[in-house]
Structure 1
Amino acid sequence: MAEALFFLLIEQIGTALAEEAINHASFLFVRERTILTQVRSRMNQIKSEFEVIQAFLSHIGTRKENDRLLEAWVKQVREVAFAVEDTMDQYIYLLAERHRRKSRGFPKKILRRPSISRGWHSIADELEEILNRLHHLRDMKERYGIKTTKGDNPSVANETLQNLADSSHFIDDEEIVGIKKNKKLLVQWLLDREPHRTVIAVWGMVGLGKTTLVSKVYRSKIIKAHFDCHAWVTVSQAFRVDGLLRRIVGEFFKEKEGVIPQHIDTLGRRDLIQILHDYLEEKKYLIILDDVCGTDVWNELRDSFLDNGHGSRIILTTRYQNVASLATRNRVMELEHLSEGEAWFLFCRRAFWKDKERECPPAVESQARELVNKCQGLPLAIVSIGNYLSLRQKKEIEWKKVLDDINWVLNNNPELGVMKSILALSLHDLPEYLKNCFLYCGIFPENYPIKRKRLIRLWVAEGFIKKRGKRSMEEVAEDNLNELIQRCMLQVTERNDFGRVRACRMNAIMRELALSISEREDFYSVRGPTDTSSANDARRLSVHRCGSNMHFDRRTMLHLRSFIYFDTTIFPMKLSFKLLRVLDLQGTLLESVPDGVFTLFNLYYLGLRKTRIRKIPKSIKRLINLQTLDLAYTKIKSLPDGIAELKKLRHLFVHTIGDQTHKSFSEFSGFPAPRGIWDLKDLQTLQGVEAGGKMVRKLKQMTQLRSFRIMKVRAIHCGDLSAAITEMTQLHRLDIVAAEEKESLNIQSISVPPPHLEKLTFRAKLEVPPKWVGSLNNLTWLRLCWSALKEDPLPSICKLPNLVFLLLVRAYDGPRLVFQEGWFPKLKDLRLVDMDHLQQLEIEKVALPKLRQLNLVRCGTLMAVPQGIWYLQKLEMLYLEEMPQEFVGTLRSRNHGKDGLLKRHQSEGLDDHTKIPPIPLAITHVFQKDGRWYGESLKDADLSQYEEEYIAALREEMDWKEDR
């Protein structure tokens, strides 16, 4: 992965040498310009050296991991790269600091201080030393004959993959678990009567068993008999079209024991395609392209395979979603991980194959189940670890050693070498811009839900993301995240209502591989409760549940670039990491900002979310590189004016929650706008700022905002606020919170609303529903809270084409809501909370056709079950909280009782009760009694009571979170 480091450094040096840096340098005096000329010359030389080194490392690929001499050389090269990274940060800081002081009118005697001049001389000396080290490394490379291999020899991983594909044809059926359903479907697709050539894709992460599944179908007698000819080829990353065509021709002719055309090795692509066309013209053929790594493979091969109307089939197996999208419509099979039971069954068959019953001995069952859980249903990992453990004694102490140090076991045992090589293939196939992004995900604890927004901001702060064209770095980072997901390198654990990734995780075994690489290359180090050593030379440190046991050696940690603390205990040390870029202490018990934070001139990310911090000092202005300042859910009530000096700030979060019950209007609080905050031209996220006369007047300047929450808005602010919002053409999220419950706001005068707006919240009394909301074609998420509207808001928003989430909290004072035919075509989640005047809820046929969840919370006057609820054929969850007993009593009856829903449905005059959709998958009632929360299911005749922990989790899930 060292090549990814050089990829970033080359770009960083280029950026530093760009025109902006030259403009900054114009502030320097003649003597300093001379030094700067030397510095720039040496940086250009280093950049040239790095470009050659990066090309060399990319060419050798995985070979450096199997060559000790090469690996030792790469280690020294990496150390030089780290030295350059440190020097570059100091260089950029000196330029920026010089520009800042000059622009603020500092006297010349301050600008000419010897300390500043010494800084430039120091950088020049460091760069000269770095160049000497690079020249020495170049000589060393020649001296010891460190070279790239000639030709296109496949990597060890590719060879292993080919061997695995070959061996998959001969696996005993009894050793294969969890493919029965997919095998049946795949056979069905191959045998259907569609005469046109059909392309089928089988996709999923490496190790899920794609090749094994397809090979079992491919070799079955019924498939062999159905097709006239068959060919199977494995596609490597470094494929050549001519080579693939030759292998396919060879497969066909070999199968029929025919004579392979003469001089096939010298034929060009056109001749090879003609041979295939002639051979396949009247045949029904089956071709398997195994492990297709890119769309270019199919795009270059597709015309080689005739669509002759004989029902031919082509199967692509792939790790990439974009490749799978090339398949014929409805012919994509996404493989899933094994279930817990399937995983345990497969493990026992492998780990205890010597035992007749193949059952796990009680002495090691606890460790065995933990190891199987770590595999997370990945067949390759289960089989590999099972095979490895089959050779070990069935003693608790032996298996506990494996469990406690699985990373060492993966890297030092030949029995697991195949698995490691295959998993590593996906990592080495990544383009340079994705490698660091992927490895970085291992810094989070195992099975940790990695939030999309947090990860994106961290990637940007680390310098992994570069702007592309007019797109922001955050947009580019989200593209990277989606690409990693499409490549099956990360698994989505949560999506929002409109399908966007909210959280993801890294497969546990894949994470162990990432940890191994990162530790070896000093990319980062992870320390847990059993680790007492320091981070050595790691550039990043992640601490997991260490408490006071963690030992920090400040001398060896001066080079740290990132420090992420996942322990909830109080942060135990003084910060002295001069070049730190990321400091994330989210969720700790901190009550004040740690000593030394405001001397970290290189800090880009400061995460203090969910801490107990009450104050940010004026010295925050020293953090001139800061991009993200996350103070959400802290006790901070104000910010110093120095915030306005953070010219690179992109994301600012400052809001707190007072009343956790969501029953009080004054639940959230923000912060008064610091003077000059409106001058921050890079600011994209501003969450929690309070309205004020000057603030709302200056808002017109903040046209770059993408996410904006303004609080304590009063009626007198509405004119300026509306005018400002009209100018915010990049806005994706807008929250408007009134100063108090009775403050009535008029937000009607927004002439042209932000065209990209996706999320909108009004937490305010509104005179009338804002008419412009109905024109927001990109709106997916709408909350009307405490609006107390006299006019029914539904007609003005019912045609929004992309709305998937609607929350109404005390939004309408009328007694009746009717969802008419054709309204809300994409709405999936409807939540009605504290609708105190609502007496009747009606749903007409063909209304809410996509609704999956309906929440009714504390609607005290709604006594009857919503009329027409049976029309909601997609409904999966009906959630009730503190609803009237009359309402709940109706649902508590048996489904088929005289008062049950089914009888009520029939009584409404439906023509054919056999077409009535089933009752929702879950009808849950949650209520409070004697200060405790209780929950019950109302779907089944035998009412099931929920545990208190489950109820708490359920209410948390049903809550309308601000961060959704």
Structure 2
Amino acid sequence: MAVPVGNLLRKLKECISHESNLLIAVHLEQIKKVFERVKPYLRDAEWKRDLHDTEWRRNVNNQEELKIKKYEKISRWVSQIAALAVEVEEIIVTYDLYLFDKNTSGSLFSKFLSSRFLIVGKDTLSTKIQQFLSRSHQQTNSIINGNGFHSSHQMRSHRHISSENNVSVVRNLTLPSNRACPTDSTTSWHKHLFGMDSLELLGQFSEKATKEMQRLIWEALNMNLVRITHVQAAATTVPAHDSRRATQMILETSILGRQEEVSKLESWLMVEEEQSDPVIISVTGVGGIGKTTIAAAVYESMRHHFNCHAWASVFQSPTTSLLQDVLRGILKSMSMMAPRNIDAMNDASLREMIRSRLVGKKFLLVLDDVMKKDEWEYVKSALPQDCQAKILLTSGTNLQYLPDCKYAIHIPRLTPQNAFNLLQKRVCLQQTTFWPSVVKSEAEEILGICKGIPLAIATIGGLLSTKQMETKEWTIVRHMLSQAHFTPLCYSDLHAVLKSCFLYAALFPLNSEIPCKRLQQLWIAEGFVQARATMTAEEAARLQMEELIWRNMIQMAQVGLDGEVETCRVLRPMREFALKRSEQDKFSSSLLDRSGNALQPERPHHLSLSAESSSIPITEVDKLNLSGMYSLLLFKGYKHQPLFITSVSSFRLLSVLEIQHLTRDDLPDSVGDLGLLRYLGLRGTKLKKLPTSLKKLQRLQTLDIRDTFIRDLPDGLEGMKMLRHLLLAGSFGDKVVNLVVAIEVFKDLQTLAGVGVTEGITKGLHHLPQLQKLSVGEVKSCHSVTLFESIDHMKFLRSLTIKCAPEEHIDMISCNPLENLEKLRIGGPIDNLLAWIEKLHSLKYLYLWDCLLMKDPLSALQHLPSLVLLSLCNAYNGKEIQFGTRAFLKLKKLSILRCKKLERWTAMKDGAMGKLQTLTIAYCPNFTRLPRGLGELTSLQALQVADMPAHFIKEARDIQSTSTSKFSLLVRETTQLSAYTDAKPGHKMLPISMFAHLMRNIEETDKHLPRQPKLKDKKEA
């Protein structure tokens, strides 16, 4: 089913359920029913259109010309359906806005002005309906006369609204706006004003839309379109898999059959080069062969062997943002903060900073998706002469002709056995089951069509994972695959709501990593989430995300230590298909064609503008009709952002406004006029305040102002009762945002992050038991009792951050073990803290800083069954740490930072920390030696040391040389850590900002590129 039809039906269903006027509800129900009728024919038409559009069609001869013409006719029919659905949807949304304006107006005069919205203006509801009626009438006559689809009997049975009637309706509705009002109309225009003619107009719109759809259904019958002739989406939208287990299975299969290539690349990266010039390694291959996946596996396993490293995705041409990404990666790998003005830095400044950081360093850089030699030369010009750099390039073109390319590898297609293993594991994500011989035969034929391309095999496997192990269904898939490309086949198998989600994800810039939670909140705001009786919208959105990942329509980018997918991406082949389909189905519009030339889309409803779009002159963008937009996504690098923001009041149908890295420090007050807005994303902008008109956004669900300069929210936000996610400040920073609103009115609130604590806030929290994420700062001892009483009631809480105010010491008075708590961050001294944490058996991530504990935290927390990360930063004032056997059974990352009194770590006992992958020790000046047994941990991949005594570093090198795990040792100077001394008299605890960047870096590296199975030896490879 075409995306616009699915979106319209969901809007109609929502509108009908909230409509109080029975007659209007009947009209809307009539439209809904006729669009429901076309769905099965539309499925057949879309598939036949895909057969015509597919790039895999071959051997087209003269005998097939008639068939091609038929496909073209069907394609035009689908476009007509999409265009009609899009236009009807815009009218429905405009009607929703009209009702909102009318219902939220207070005084009689306000209601008068609100009613005028219906009857005057360039882009009002009445104007849109009149345009629809007039155009629809003309189209109907021309199509009937030209094609003869309707018989004379059908013509007589259809009552059309004449042009004279249309004009009379317009004349009546526009009377109030005329200065000279005829006397014979004075008695009737009050009725027109307060809704009589609006109901009549909506009725005529409903009748005309219904007849248009009936005509199109008649055309479907004349084109011999049939009902449901191909593979349909499974009855259940989500496979019955454990999500983390499925994620692990996908990771394990991502480089299946590529161990030889991975080993070769790793060996090249480890070669000690005599030359000082950068060593270039190219990875080439056809689209979908797995170049990025292989590079990610190598980068993940080898980055610890370098002083610094970075990953940058290259776009169509070199831009300043590419150097910014390289610099960000370098600084992050060195635990250093990026400059706040990095987005405003020019090429010369970026090159200078990159060179200064890389002098004398071993540097690993991955440039993914390089298209031209110029792109590499652009980055190379920023590297210093005395830098031992290894550069890994991936490209769909052959880069071996480059004179400075020392190593090159071309990725071949999978062997038949590896291809079969990949398909089998993607079909059976939970476990490998027995395949009946008839299914196996079909699988072999499917693999023959896929020709060893991993992307095709994995995506088809995702489709088959939703099917029964029956010959009939697999035969249909094989037959369809033999006719068309795998991408439209797998897309056609998606439910309508998943199609919208997939197309929306493709709006993000090419190669960008998309935060999963943010994308899910955008889907919810757009109405792309299928409601489930026993789930919240967020839980349903997460399941939809997982299904798209399992089906391989969206790929995992970063995965947490606990196996949860944190970020995702849409690969180039999938994105190109999605953008093309979006254009065809009127879902979204691109401003650039494949050659980079400017386009003039007809009327975009979902528009994304990024660095790529900056090449389009603003004068060309001004020509677009943007008044019908539902989503406006302004990404980093789009240089015309300020001009868009000044005209935001004209985008009254917006549900989503996402702005990244805006340089101006305020928003226009007209933002409050966006009555339908559900998502307002302002993260990373330079904003210092929000307009007072924000209180008018009564439908707002998500407000994200993290990493801005905003410290106070405006008063009067109690009307925003639909808020679900309030993201105010980061968890590791010392900044909070003051909130004076009575937060107990936000009954649906699930996320409250970065709020400064007051007595009113602590009391209000008691009324928010649905919270899943809570981050509070500036906590004082006087808040302890009320705060922890409120926290005790939050049985759904998954993430908790508590940051004490300076010089404050609070008491942990909680007795509730919070059974669902997975992530805990504590900044500051809290009494009885360890005794409470010991009870948190679901805890996976624990960050403690400035806690000044006297009791050994490792000894106290060693038996937490789910803990995968433990980070201690100025958290322990003792001299010794120790733990027993079988301690920290799941721990993968341990960081001990600035524990200045720590001297000893007793021996590592058998069975303890058996899964530890990364150990970080920094600025512990009295820590004399590492524990015995550390080198025997076979799982250990990296030991990172910063600002430690020379004899400690020497011992670390000795352990590395004799270790059986062959872990990498990274020694670096972290100037931000060593810069702080105890020279400040009376300062009892460290400022949080001193370690905010380091703590954030630790957290972000826990969800890096997907971790791949570690190769035990070359024989296994």
Query: Into which bin does the TM-score normalised by the smaller protein fall?
Result: 0.5 to 0.7
Task: State the partner residue of 1:265.
Answer: none
Report the alpha carbon displacement of residue 856 of structure 1 after superposing the two structures with TM: 0.9
CA contact (8 A) 1:769 1:793 kept: no
- CA-to-aligned-CA distance 1:623-650 (integer Å, 9 cap, x gap): 2221111100000010012322111111
Structure 1 residue 440: deviation in Å?
1.4
Q: Does 1:651 align with 2:725?
A: yes
Q: Is 2:214 aligned against 1:138?
A: yes
Structure 2 contact 770–796 (Cα < 8 Å) conserved:
yes
- 1:828 and 2:912 matched: no
Q: Are 1:612 and 2:686 counterparts?
A: yes
CA distance in 1, matches of 2:711, 2:944: 36
Aligned to 2:116: 115
Aligned to 2:714, which of 623, 640, 661?
640
Q: Does 1:490 align with 2:550?
A: no
Match of 1:391 in 2: none
1:526 aligns with 2:590: yes
SS of equivalent to 1:525 = coil
The corresponding residue for 1:560 is 629
Distance 1:708 1:155, change over 3 A: closer
**SS in structure 2 at match of 1:443:** coil
Q: CA deviation at 1:789?
A: 0.9
Is 1:891 the equivalent of 2:972? Answer: no
Preserved CA contact (<8 Å) 1:206 1:423: no
| 1:87 aligned residue | 91
Q: Does 1:516 align with 2:517?
A: no
1:733 aligns with 2:799: yes
Looking at structure 2, the residues matched to 697 and 690 of structure 1 have their Cα atoms a distance apart, in angstroms, of 13
1:918 Cα deviation after fit? 2.6
Question: What letter is aligned with 1:718?
Answer: S
Structure 2 unpaired stretches of 5+: 53-70, 118-191, 233-254, 262-285, 291-418, 437-450, 459-480, 980-996, 1008-1021
TM-score, normalised by the number of residues in structure 2? 0.61
Q: Report what 1:365 is aligned to.
A: none
Q: Deviations over 1:243-270 (max 9, x none)?
A: xxxxxxxxxxxxxxxxxxxxxxxxxxxx
Residue 891 to residue 517, structure 1, CA distance change in 2 (3 Å): same
**Residues 222-621 of structure 1 correspond to what in structure 2 (within 5 A)?**
318=423, 321=426, 323-328=428-433, 421-527=485-591, 530-545=596-611, 546-547=613-614, 549-550=617-618, 551-553=620-622, 556-568=625-637, 569=639, 571=641, 572-573=643-644, 574-575=647-648, 576-594=650-668, 596-621=670-695
Q: Which has the higher contact order (CA 8 A, sep 6+)?
A: 2
Residue of structure 2 equivalent to 1:668: 734
Listed one character per residue, the Cα deviations across residues 662-689 of structure 1 (whole Å, up to 9, x for unaligned) are 8xxxx42111122222211111111111
Aligned equivalents of 2:708, 2:1006: Cα separation in 1? 15
2:149 aligns with none
State which drifts further: 608-617 or 872-881: 872-881
What letter is aligned with 2:614?
Answer: G
Assess if the C-alpha contact under 8 Å between 1:42 and 1:128 holds in 2. no
Q: Would you say 1:923 and 2:969 are equivalent positions?
A: yes
Secondary structure of the 1:526 match is coil
| Alignment check: 8 A CA contact 1:768 1:790 kept | no
Q: 1:465 to 1:811 in 2, by over 3 A?
A: same
Post-superposition offset of 1:450: 1.2
Note the aligned Cα RMSD (angstroms): 3.7
Q: Secondary structure at the match of 1:536?
A: coil
Q: Provide closer, same or farther for how the CA distance between residues 670 and 963 of structure 1 changes in structure 2, counting only shifts above 3 A.
A: farther
Residue 62 of structure 1 pairs with residue 128 of structure 2: no
Change (3 A) 1:379 1:731: closer
Matched residue of 1:552: which SS? helix
Q: Please identify, of 492-501 and 881-890, the stretch whose mean Cα deviation from structure 2 is larger.
A: 881-890
C-alpha distance in structure 2 between counterparts of 1:315 and 1:635, whole Å: 54
Indicate the residue corresponding to 1:959 in structure 2: 1002
Match of 1:856 among 896, 921, 926: 921
1:681 is matched by which residue type in structure 2?
Answer: K
Could you tell me whether the CA contact under 8 Å between 1:793 and 1:812 is conserved in 2? Answer: yes
- In 1, Cα distance between the equivalents of 2:573 and 2:774? 39
> In the aligned structure 2, how far is the partner of 1:504 from the partner of 1:91?
36
Please state how far the C-alpha of 1:805 moved relative to its aligned partner.
Answer: 0.9
Percentage of pairs with the same residue? 27
Q: Is the 8 A contact 1:442 1:514 kept in 2?
A: yes
Distance change in 2, residues 1:320/1:483 (3 Å): farther
Aligned 8 A contact 1:376 1:508 in 2: no
- Matching residue's letter, 1:735: T
What does residue 846 of structure 2 align with? 782
* 1:53 maps to 2:38: yes
- 1:175-186 equivalences in 2 (<5 Å): none
8 Å contact from structure 2 (residues 8, 89) kept in 1: yes
Question: What amino acid does structure 1 have at the position aligned with 2:702?
Answer: T
User: Using the alignment, how far apart are the partners of 1:530 and 1:317 within structure 2?
Assistant: 36
Residue identity matched to 2:894: L
Q: Does 1:71 align with 2:114?
A: no
Q: Do the aligned residues in 1 keep the contact of 2:670 with 2:693 (CA within 8 Å)?
A: no
TM-score (norm 1): 0.64
Tell me which of 704, 711, 720 is aligned to 2:770.
704
- Mapped to 1, the partners of 2:857 and 2:199 lie a distance apart of 64
Deviation larger for 92-101 or 71-80: 92-101
Name the counterpart of 2:1018: none
Relative distance call for 1:766 and 1:141 in structure 2 (3 A) is closer
Matched, 1:14 2:61: no
Q: Secondary structure at the match of 2:944?
A: strand
- Deviation of residue 179 (structure 1)? 5.7
Q: Structure 2 CA distance, aligned partners of 1:467 and 1:5?
A: 18
**Structure 2: distance between partners of 1:828 and 1:931:** 24
SS class of match (1:655) = coil
Residue identity matched to 1:547: S
Distance (Å, rounded) in 2 between the aligned partners of 1:518 and 1:427: 12
Kept in 2, the 8 Å contact 1:803–1:827? The answer is: yes
AA in 1 matched with 2:792? T
Partner Cα distance (2:914, 2:792) in 1: 33
Letter of the structure 2 residue corresponding to residue 645 of structure 1: G
| Cα offset, 1:182, TM superposition | 10
Query: Relative to 1, partners in 2 of residues 1:570 and 1:69: Cα closer, same or farther, differing over 3 Å?
Result: closer
Q: Distance in 2 between matches of 1:143 and 1:929?
A: 72
Deviation at 1:438, TM superposition (A): 1.2
Can you give the 5+ residue segments of structure 1 that lack an aligned partner in the other structure?
26-35, 157-176, 184-204, 210-313, 332-349, 351-374, 382-416, 903-915, 934-953
SS of the residue corresponding to residue 590 of structure 2 reads strand
Determine the C-alpha separation between the residues in 2 that align with 1:178 and 1:728.
Answer: 43
Contact 1:320 1:486 in 2 (8 A): no
- Greater shift in the superposed pair: 551-560 or 638-647: 551-560
User: Which residue number corresponds to residue 442 of structure 2?
Assistant: none
CA-CA distance at 1:521 after TM superposition: 1.6
* Alignment correspondent of 1:723: 789
Residue type of the alignment partner of 1:446: L
3-state DSSP class of the match of 2:608?
A: strand
Report the alpha carbon displacement of residue 72 of structure 1 after superposing the two structures with TM: 2.1
Give the Cα separation in 2 of the matches to 1:12 and 1:319.
39
Structure 1 residue 479, shift from structure 2 partner: 0.7
On the 8 A contact 2:937/2:965 being kept in 1, the answer is: no
**Helix, strand or coil for the counterpart of 1:76?**
helix
8 A contact 1:468–1:476 mirrored in 2: yes
How has the CA–CA distance of structure 1 residues 873 and 330 changed in structure 2, closer, same or farther, with 3 Å as cutoff? farther
| CA drift at 1:153 | 6.0
Aligned to 1:847: 912
**What code does the residue aligned with 1:578 have?**
R
